[in-house]
Amino acid sequence: MWSRLLLVAVLGAACGGTYGGQPPAHPRAKPGIEDAGLPYNVLDARTGHQVDTTAFWDKLASERVVCVGEEHKNPHHHWVELETVKRLSAKWPHFALGMEMFQRPFQGVLDDYAANRIDEAALLSRSGWEDRWGYDYSFYGPTIAVAVRAHAALVALNASKELTKKVVHQGLESLTPEERAQLPAEIKLDDKQHRAWFDDLMSGFGDGDPHNPHGGSPSTPDEHTGSGSAAPPPEEPLAGVPEMPSADRVYSVQVIWDETMADSAAKWLAANKDGRIVILAGSGHCHDSAIVNRIKRRGIKEVVSVRSVVDDGQGDVAQELAKPMTDFLVVLQMPDDVKHQLVEQNAKASGE
């Protein structure tokens, strides 16, 4: 069980991009993302300069692909996604909402929902939402509803659970020709920048802290959350304890997710020459060496990436500016009283 929990933790961090572990709870966060809006500024992540918000939204509207990263349980991040889709739907006559949360085999279900042939209950049941994603649908439903009302396509971006489960346990080489055909033709595993990001992220789990950055959902390593383990499998595993997959195998799963999502988005754009797409994915996927550069490698250069950061005054913004991996940071301003609470909590936790 310990090894299983450790793997879930590192997989979840790589997907959601929680580089420092579990993000702090924000006492004012509400379940409904419409209520989770906060005042915000926009920074050019490459220079640190503040950007005029009108110019920011115009810049996003000028691109073909806008990739918006999230921490899956952070309602403020989901509010930024909702705001992005609202604003771009008013400017884009023909667009798609592409989502990590749905896997390719269920594209037909999304088509039916976008065409109002099925209701929300059927969407969730037929796409296996609880088993394959598991996060509260209320974080996503309002954003999807805006896209449907704007007559946008809904695109299932992700690889199937069945494929990634097999790869993480048996390796890419175990896939049959039929299974391999379900993946993109190119799976680039030798991107040094991406592997360095992955290894740096995984080094944070070297102490074997067996917690789940997502608070327990989803619960298995072969679900969406992917990728990586800093701990190699033991040479002599204990009887009855499943062996930890190698770091290389788990890294392969991370790359499969990134390549598949990039490939799914690129294929929709190729079939819709005047179309544009908003991608919703974990922050661990929505950065330069992940989805962004893999879309560009497929011939689509007009790609911009956005990361949300709730400024708690503890250095999170500085951390992102020190090693920028996205084009823009949406810096949400935490209320002063909540910020003060977090400072006190951190001080007590550190024994000060």
Q: Quick one: pLDDT at residue 17?
A: 53
> Residue 347: which pLDDT band, with cuts at 50, 70 and 90?
low
Q: Quick one: pLDDT at residue 264?
A: 98
> Residue 31: which pLDDT band, with cuts at 50, 70 and 90?
low
CATH number, residue 105: 3.40.50.11550
Give the pair of three-digit tokens for residue 100. Answer: 């990590």
Radius of gyration of the CA atoms of the chain, in A: 20
The count of other CB atoms within 10 Å of the CB of residue 199 is: 13
Give the pair of three-digit tokens for residue 158. Answer: 């992700």
Instruction: Establish if 241 belongs to a structural domain.
Output: no
Q: Quick one: pLDDT at residue 181?
A: 96
Angle at 29 between CA 27 and CA 31, to 5 degrees: 130
- The mean pLDDT of the chain is 84
From residue 204, alpha-carbon distances to 19, 142, 226, 231 in Å are 8, 34, 15, 11
Which residue bears the tokens 């609470």?
341
Q: Quick one: pLDDT at residue 52?
A: 98
The answer to whether 226 and 260 are in contact (CB under 8 A) is no
Please count the structural domains in the chain.
1
Q: Quick one: pLDDT at residue 209?
A: 32
Tell whether the model's pLDDT for residue 2 goes beyond 60. Answer: no
Smallest CA-to-CA distance from 278 within 149, 124, 86 is with 86
Residues 51-69, mean pLDDT to the nearest whole number: 98
Tell whether the model's pLDDT for residue 338 goes beyond 80. Answer: no
Q: Quick one: pLDDT at residue 221?
A: 38
Instruction: Establish if 281 belongs to a structural domain.
Output: yes
Smallest CA-to-CA distance from 333 within 316, 345, 349, 320 is with 316
Residues 230-242, mean pLDDT to the nearest whole number: 43
325-345 burial, b at 16+ Cβ within 10 Å, e below that, comes to bbbbbbbbebeeebbebbeee
**Alpha carbon distance, N-terminus to C-terminus of the chain:** 34
Tell whether the model's pLDDT for residue 272 goes beyond 70. Answer: yes
**More confident: 24 or 310:** 310
Tell whether the model's pLDDT for residue 194 goes beyond 70. Answer: yes
**More confident: 146 or 10:** 146
Q: Which of 31-40, 201-210, 254-263, 334-343 has the lowest mean pLDDT?
A: 201-210
For residue 282, the cross-strand partners are: 70
Q: Quick one: pLDDT at residue 134?
A: 96
The model's pLDDT over 105-127, given as tens digits with 9 standing for 90+, comes to 999 999 999 999 999 999 999 99
Instruction: Establish if 51 belongs to a structural domain.
Output: yes
Give the pair of three-digit tokens for residue 171. Answer: 């390796």
> Residue 335: which pLDDT band, with cuts at 50, 70 and 90?
confident
Instruction: Establish if 240 belongs to a structural domain.
Output: no
- DSSP code for 49: -
What is the extent of the structural domain holding 36? 2-235+249-349
Residues 244-272, mean pLDDT to the nearest whole number: 96
Distance CA 152, CA 97 (A): 7
The answer to whether 100 and 122 are in contact (CB under 8 A) is no
Q: Quick one: pLDDT at residue 342?
A: 55
Collapsing DSSP to helix, strand or coil, 124 comes out as helix
Q: Which of 59-68, 219-228, 283-292, 295-304 has the lowest mean pLDDT?
A: 219-228
The answer to whether 218 and 243 are in contact (CB under 8 A) is no
Residues 179-194, mean pLDDT to the nearest whole number: 96
Type of residue at 116? N
The model's pLDDT over 150-172, given as tens digits with 9 standing for 90+, comes to 999 999 999 999 999 999 999 99
Tell whether the model's pLDDT for residue 132 goes beyond 60. Answer: yes
Residues 304-311, mean pLDDT to the nearest whole number: 97
Instruction: Establish if 182 belongs to a structural domain.
Output: yes
From residue 282, alpha-carbon distances to 168, 181, 231 in Å are 19, 25, 23
Instruction: Establish if 242 belongs to a structural domain.
Output: no
Instruction: Establish if 312 belongs to a structural domain.
Output: yes
Tell whether the model's pLDDT for residue 29 goes beyond 60. Answer: no
Residues 326-341, mean pLDDT to the nearest whole number: 82
pTM over 0.75? The answer is yes
Check the CA dihedral 223-226-231-233 and report its sign. Answer: positive
Which alpha helices (H) appear in the chain, and where do they start and end? 2-16, 53-61, 75-89, 107-114, 120-126, 129-132, 141-149, 161-170, 177-180, 192-203, 247-271, 293-296, 316-322, 336-349
Instruction: Establish if 126 belongs to a structural domain.
Output: yes
Tell whether the model's pLDDT for residue 278 goes beyond 50. Answer: yes
